[in-house]
Chain A
Amino acid sequence: MIHCPKCGTPNPRGSRFCKECGEPLPLRTALRCPMCSTMNPVGNVYCDMCQARLIPMAAPRSEEPEREQPPLEEPSPAIPPSEEEGEGQEAADWLGQLRASAMEESEVPDTLEEPVEPVEIPDWLREMGPVGADTGTQPPEEPPFVEPRFEEETQRAPSPAAEEAPGRLQEPAPADLPDWLREIAPPEAETPSKIAPPEAEAPPSETAPPTAEAPPEEAAPAAPAPAPAEVPDWLHEIAPPEAETPLEAAPPTAEAPPEEAAPAAPAPAEVPDWLREIAPPEAEAPSKIAPPEEETPLEAAPPTVEAPPEEAAPAAPVPAPAEVPDWLREIAPPEAEAPPSEAAPPTAEAPPEEAAPAAPVPAPAEVPDWLREIAPPEAETPLEAAPPIPALEGMAPALPTEPGIEIGKPEELAPAAIPDWLEALRPRPEAVTEVAEEEPVETEGLLAGLRGVLPAVPAFQVPSVREEARPPEAREASIARAQLLQSLLARPAEAPQVKAGKQGISMGERIQRWLVAAVLLTATVAVLIAPTIPVSVPTLTQPVISSGVTRAHETIQDIGIENSVLVAFEYGPSEADELNLVAEPILRHLLDQGAQISVVSTRPQGLAVAEGLLSTIGPSDQRYPRRYKPGDATGVSNLLADAGNPSLIFVVTARPGPLRWWVEQARSLPDEPPPVVGGVSAALESAASPYLDANAGQITGAIHGLSGAAAYEALRSSPGQAHRRLNTLALGHAAIVGLMILGAAFYTLGGLHGRAK
């Protein structure tokens, strides 16, 4: 949103001309931080990056040129970012102005004596009814613009003093209104321009002249009939003297008729509640200051409303400097804060005669310069009110006793709602309470000598439009998370506790495990012990002779004496308990046939297993050639190459890989491939079956597991270890099947019972 520099109308971002007045708009307006050069959005009081103050606390003074200071081009820090050089210059300018103004703080009385500079009031302010009416029609000799409260003091003083007042009161007005104030101007400022055309005709230079210099008689007829409701509410709010306008309307020196004071008063009834909270000090101020004023002749006058207009003027309570709201005083420049405390005493205590010359001195000092710049409407109100306005004359009797609050007839004023942007400016309670007692003075750097440029955190907080208060819940949650993280980090590292396996096992599961173990142990151990018992154990099973066993037997039966047989032990100790029983009957058969057995393996454990087995079944003094060759398929190939042309290859393995290697490499021999007999574990039967297929012919015969070995022994009619263990195997299998059936029945019935429940 870009606010028009002329009329203040907010325009959409990217607009080139004002949609209301057609004024060319800056392409992109931003505030460059004087410290870090960061571009900040308009409306920021402090820099987003370094928190430096973006908006000067003291408005630049117009007497700067007299002191050979570079002239202010634009007091507003709102600068188009495209102009790089100009930006830096402007930033330096306003900083220089700020430094100069800070250095002049101690010279306030002198500055007050300086001649009056014309005040340039922006169009939108001039177009507002009361302002424009005065400025447009008042000649330069009009009394200077004074803050109402101060004007009242000048009015209480003798007229010569009042004539001097302009000189003293005339604060060096800035060349123009700051942009930040211009930006906060609401669009309502445009409406008065339509109502008060005469002011639009007046040149800006004419509006600026101090109204205090103009004779009241001249100001009165020149003042149009401004509708109080046309004064924007936001000006009511930021201009505390509004409450005093009725009192200012009847100063002894001001020739304005008392009846005109009433119309000059804005619509105080429209003051929002929160402003009314701020207003009480102003309303109460007269009562507090009244006692000292009673000592003076002027204070003896009755109140403004009840007394005749001529008497009401001197009776107007003098607003104490402390009546300025705190939040306004906070955002005021430092030099604006110092004078009030010093100027207040003489105002109240000095006698009228003495106060007359002295009054101008404290009076202007009580008003911050920046407030005086934006205050012309209210200050000129009494002058504007000079001409009789028939429509508003009737409002005079209705003026309430409390100034500034209930003046005027509410029904005649359009109700004004507080705009959102103004609502956002409402000072927060904590911001109001935390009043900066004294701004620190920068001692070094570019800001040396300046006061309050960098905020003394957390001296005070200026409410910002962009500032968004976070919900307290989020803060509490964030604090809670931060505390949790801190506690976790502070906690010493602990090794994870390994839960014992038994903790998660219920009694039922334990019973199941023990049941399974007991059944298996009983079935196995009992049958293994049975041969040692003299009681004969009946044979429970008979081996089933398969075709593979028969073909293996026939193949080995053909092996004659002096035929070399390559026995590959491709298993380790973990499979030896089963595969030793598988290999034993075939090795016995080969030894019986007188074959020349060569032990080979591609596994390092294979030779050790073979040696242990052959030592039990063969002659103890016989040594068999052994050869180990790593390299999987390549090792098998090398072993086959080293073995020459074996008559038979007997592969004992529990893994599919070695069986495949031997089958493949045996088939790839250049000569006629030797027959291959496999002795595999029961688990590998399905993997060996494809090679055993009669159509494939890759494996001549095969023995699968303990049952196959028992079948081979049965074929040879020489029962051995395999046959003796076959009963154990059968009982173990029967026990496993029984447990499976028991578990299935238990859980099936249990599930049905649970469903029934």
Chain B
Amino acid sequence: MTKLIRRWIPSLLFATLPGLTVLAGYLSPDPVLGYLRDRLVEGAVIVAAFAFLLGAFNILRVHGGKIGHREQGWPYSLVLLIAMMVAWIPPLLQSLVQRPQVQETLDDVTHALFNYVIGPAGASLAALVVFTLTLSAFRLMRVRRSAGAVLFLLIVALVLLGSAPFIGLEWLANVRDWIINVPGMAGMRGLLLGVALGTVITALRVLFTSHRPHSEF
């Protein structure tokens, strides 16, 4: 009885029933099932929102402790907390204060942060990926000097040059399209099929309580 209560009832209540209901809401055009599906998903979203809130408080606690104890790298923690407050407070005040002038000012601050801080920072990180990949390609032959490495470099060069072909080298675009649409698509289809099968199997395991990531029992 204890095992039943501890193990099976929570799984039935929080995994099997909601999962089957959401699945049925997708498969059936019944509005009742669709309504139940939406409500359940909204509940999951609310729970996820609280999870984000908990994450934010955890960041405050961890980095606040680092700053308080002057641990190694505490200035970085200080910068992190300041940036978090700057990005957090204006939208919070925007939702609390209803005066138009304040609303407009806070809106400008939010857009400035997004367009001139968050956006460029994200783009810089993406550019670092380009630099890292280029350096890795440069040193590839040092690490592995083989036919596979040569083939890899050759395909990368053809796709890059074919994406924006110079005048007179338009034929490279056709080569690139063939590489993308034939071998590339075959590989991608295989990956997508594998991901889909894995998703289905995981969903079935959770639905039928064979896998209980939501429970410790």
CB of A495 closer than 8 Å to a CB of B: yes
| Cβ contact of A751, chosen from B26, B145, B187, cutoff 8 A | B145
Query: Is there contact, CB below 8 Å, between A734 and B123?
Result: no
CB of A670 closer than 8 Å to a CB of B: yes
**Complex: A539 Cα to B164 Cα, angstroms:** 12
CB of B88 closer than 8 Å to a CB of A: no
| Count of CB-CB pairs between chains A and B under 8 Å | 152
Query: Is there contact, CB below 8 Å, between B166 and A744?
Result: no
Query: Is there contact, CB below 8 Å, between B164 and A730?
Result: yes
Instruction: Tell me the A691-747 residues at the B interface (CB within 8 Å).
Output: 705-707, 726, 729-730, 733-734, 736-737, 739-744, 746-747
Which single residue of chain B is at the shortest CB-CB distance from A706?
A: B164
- Chain A residues lying within 8 Å of B29, measured Cβ to Cβ, are 670
Query: Is there contact, CB below 8 Å, between A726 and B164?
Result: yes
- Chain B residues lying within 8 Å of A685, measured Cβ to Cβ, are 180
- From residue B28, how far is it (CB to closest CB) to chain A in Å? 11
Which single residue of chain B is at the shortest CB-CB distance from A509?
A: B139
Query: Is there contact, CB below 8 Å, between A730 and B165?
Result: yes
Query: Is there contact, CB below 8 Å, between A687 and B180?
Result: no
Query: Is there contact, CB below 8 Å, between B166 and A541?
Result: yes
CB of B84 closer than 8 Å to a CB of A: no
Given contact pairs A574-B123, A686-B188, A687-B192, A743 touches B142 in the complex (Cβ within 8 A): yes
CB of B78 closer than 8 Å to a CB of A: no
**Complex: A706 Cα to B164 Cα, angstroms:** 9
CB of A70 closer than 8 Å to a CB of B: no
Query: Is there contact, CB below 8 Å, between A742 and B184?
Result: no
- Chain B residues lying within 8 Å of A512, measured Cβ to Cβ, are 135, 138-139
CB of B37 closer than 8 Å to a CB of A: yes
- Chain B residues lying within 8 Å of A733, measured Cβ to Cβ, are 160-161, 163-164
Query: Is there contact, CB below 8 Å, between B192 and A707?
Result: no
Given contact pairs A520-B134, A634-B41, A730 touches B119 in the complex (Cβ within 8 A): no
Query: Is there contact, CB below 8 Å, between B42 and A748?
Result: no
| Cβ contact of A743, chosen from B141, B150, B157, B189, cutoff 8 A | B141
- From residue B99, how far is it (CB to closest CB) to chain A in Å? 20
- From residue A214, how far is it (CB to closest CB) to chain B in Å? 87
- Chain B residues lying within 8 Å of A608, measured Cβ to Cβ, are 110-111, 114
Given contact pairs A574-B126, A577-B119, A748-B145, A544 touches B166 in the complex (Cβ within 8 A): no
- From residue A686, how far is it (CB to closest CB) to chain B in Å? 4
CB of A160 closer than 8 Å to a CB of B: no
Query: Is there contact, CB below 8 Å, between B122 and A612?
Result: no
Given contact pairs A573-B123, A730-B165, A748-B141, A516 touches B188 in the complex (Cβ within 8 A): no
Query: Is there contact, CB below 8 Å, between A574 and B122?
Result: yes
Given contact pairs A577-B119, A638-B38, A751-B145, A516 touches B134 in the complex (Cβ within 8 A): yes
| Cβ contact of B157, chosen from A520, A605, A740, cutoff 8 A | A740
Query: Is there contact, CB below 8 Å, between A542 and B170?
Result: yes
**Complex: A736 Cα to B133 Cα, angstroms:** 9
- From residue B21, how far is it (CB to closest CB) to chain A in Å? 12
Query: Is there contact, CB below 8 Å, between B138 and A689?
Result: no
- Chain A residues lying within 8 Å of B141, measured Cβ to Cβ, are 743-744, 746-748, 751
What sequence of 0s and 1s flags, for each residue 27-54 of chain B, a beta carbon within 8 Å of any chain A beta carbon?
0010000000110011011001000000
Query: Is there contact, CB below 8 Å, between A740 and B122?
Result: no
Query: Is there contact, CB below 8 Å, between B123 and A690?
Result: no
What sequence of 0s and 1s flags, for each residue 479-513 of chain A, a beta carbon within 8 Å of any chain B beta carbon?
00000000000000001000000000000000011
CB of B5 closer than 8 Å to a CB of A: no
Given contact pairs A573-B119, A612-B114, A513 touches B135 in the complex (Cβ within 8 A): yes
CB of A631 closer than 8 Å to a CB of B: yes
- From residue A642, how far is it (CB to closest CB) to chain B in Å? 11
Query: Is there contact, CB below 8 Å, between A495 and B72?
Result: yes
Which single residue of chain A is at the shortest CB-CB distance from B149?
A: A744
8 nearest A-B residue pairs (beta carbon)? A574-B122, A743-B138, A730-B164, A573-B119, A544-B173, A747-B141, A634-B41, A733-B160
User: Which B residues contact A (CB, under 8 angstroms)?
Assistant: 22, 26, 29, 37-38, 41-42, 44-45, 48, 72, 110-111, 114-115, 118-119, 121-123, 125-126, 130-131, 134-135, 137-142, 145, 150, 153, 156-157, 160-161, 163-167, 170, 173, 177, 180-181, 184-185, 187-189, 192
